[in-house]
Amino acid sequence: MKNILIITGSPRKNGNSALLAKAFMEGAERAGNKVTLFDAAKKKVHPCIACDICLTKGRCVYNDDFSELIPTLEEADVIVLATLLYWFTFSAQLKLVIDRMYSLQLQNKKSVLIVSAATDDMKDFEGVVSTYGLIHTHLEWKNRAILNVPNVNGIGEVMDTDWLEKAKEIGLTI
């Protein structure tokens, strides 16, 4: 059994990336894993201000909803980042969480990236995939999967595709 943490960043209730994350979660739970979902869009996470107090005191100066996520991040074997593509990268809600992860020692995790987008141009995913790659290279994470889902803009459009099944399959095999 693995501890899997899914961090979503969609501001839309039942948005496409959230639905993909839930499909992944269903597969991962069916495979016998413990899965925790953290919905960054519904949480209060203060932006990192680069004060570096976390490096000297061992904790961030802010006591917000990110604090509740810290033990789960540290215990996770797999971290899944699920986002809509917004200006060629992560949503702001998810980026706040990623920035705050700076204060933690999260080396040697496995990771998955799930991205949904309105675009049909796969080149538009290059920014988020590149940033994700730099994160997992820096933290010595092992990428397990990248799922880039094009052509889904309206809430729930992904339900009319086979992408949910693909997300579930990744969860089953993680």
Q: How many CB atoms lie within 10 A of CB 31?
A: 15
91-124 burial, b if ≥16 CB within 10 A, otherwise e?
bebbbbbbbbbebbebeebbbbbbbbbeeeeeeb
Specify the amino acid at residue 169.
E
Lowest mean pLDDT among 34-38, 75-79, 93-97, 136-140: 136-140
pLDDT in tens, 2-28: 999 999 999 888 899 999 999 999 999
pLDDT value for 58: 76
pLDDT value for 60: 85
pLDDT value for 81: 98
pTM across the whole model: 0.95
pLDDT value for 104: 86
pLDDT value for 56: 85
pLDDT averaged over the chain?
Answer: 94
pLDDT in tens, 55-67: 888 778 899 999 9
**Is the pLDDT reported for residue 79 higher than 90?**
yes
% of the chain surpassing 70 pLDDT: 100
> What is the C-alpha separation between 80 and 82, in angstroms, rounded?
6
Q: Is the Cβ–Cβ distance between 17 and 50 less than 8 Å?
A: no
**Mean pLDDT over residues 149-153, rounded?**
94
pLDDT in tens, 91-136: 999 999 999 998 888 889 999 999 999 999 999 999 999 999 999 8
